[in-house]
Amino acid sequence: MSGKNSKEYVIFNGKKIPVVEDSLDLPNEVKSFSEVKGLKNLINLKHLQYTGPYLRKIGGLDNLQHL
Amino acid sequence: MTINSSEHLSEIENLDNLTNLKILDLSGNQLSEIKGLEALRNLEILRFGNSFQWGIGNYITKIKGLDTLTNLKELRFIQNEISEIGGLENLKKLELLDLRGNKLSEIKGLENLMSLKELLLGSNRISKIKGLGSLKRLETLGLELNQIKIIKDLEHLPNLKEVNLFKNPVNPDYYIILDKLKEKGIKINI
């Protein structure tokens, strides 16, 4: 679950990125959401943020019905 | 959801299942076309602006593909390539429209935006204020850095509070209208 004290996280390049207050802030280095392991399991995630220059395609978000 | 600043992202796709999405910020990418948003019927905020962080911007030329987004309240296209206002007919809940820094030469296509409170059209090529008569809820009108010479309709907007006409070559014949608006307590920046 992704409540305020969530222990949910994803893995990118071997690093853990936690969900904080229902929100996931992805690193700028992400080129595709498919590189982010565990993203599809965050079915209760409310906010997704990516503000980097490298993303090439939007995809892999089908399970995130609570965004 | 915010996905912005990518210099490689040129297409909107794979969002069809996000039917509960309320905020979508796609500023600062490389998008030239609006598509793939039809299913996002609960969207309230949609942004296609520029990225000040990375200096990257979209270059959308036409407003389209928004007909089903009837819950939109905020729509922003800062610094794109839009030359004509259109495609907004169904957005009856829209409260804020931001088209600053585009290529508009005319105000039109706003007739149905009955909820609009803030209209930001600065840094375009507009020469005439018109086509605003039906926007009875309009409070803020931004037209700085345009080519405004002629002013019409403003006296018929009962909720108007602020008009920005900074750096416009307003014809002195229309100063009388602006003076009347000032007398009503409307803030005029010229």
Residue B9 lies inside a defined structural domain of this protein:
yes
Using CA atoms, how far residue B111 sits from B86, B91, B135, B138, in Å, is: 10, 11, 7, 12
Task: Indicate yes or no: CB of A55 within 8 angstroms of CB of B17.
Answer: no
Residue B89 lies inside a defined structural domain of this protein:
no
State whether B125 and B43 are in the same domain: no
State whether B180 and B111 are in the same domain: yes
Residue B28 lies inside a defined structural domain of this protein:
yes
Q: Domain extents for chain A?
A: 9-49
Residue B184 lies inside a defined structural domain of this protein:
yes
Task: Indicate yes or no: CB of B20 within 8 angstroms of CB of A67.
Answer: yes
* pTM score of the predicted model: 0.92
**Number of folded domains in chain B?**
2
State whether B112 and B65 are in the same domain: no
Residue B113 lies inside a defined structural domain of this protein:
yes
Residue B87 lies inside a defined structural domain of this protein:
no
Residue B114 lies inside a defined structural domain of this protein:
yes
CATH number at residue B134: 3.80.10.10
State whether B76 and B137 are in the same domain: no
State whether B48 and B112 are in the same domain: no
Q: What is the pLDDT of residues B92-139, one digit of tens each?
A: 999 999 999 999 999 999 999 999 999 999 999 999 999 999 999 999
Residue B13 lies inside a defined structural domain of this protein:
yes
Q: What is the pLDDT of residues B141-187, one digit of tens each?
A: 999 999 999 998 899 999 999 999 999 999 999 999 999 999 999 99
Task: Indicate yes or no: CB of A49 within 8 angstroms of CB of B14.
Answer: no
Can you give the residue range of the structural domain that contains B187?
Answer: 102-190
Nearest to B1 among A54, A65, A67 (CB): A67
State whether B67 and B144 are in the same domain: no
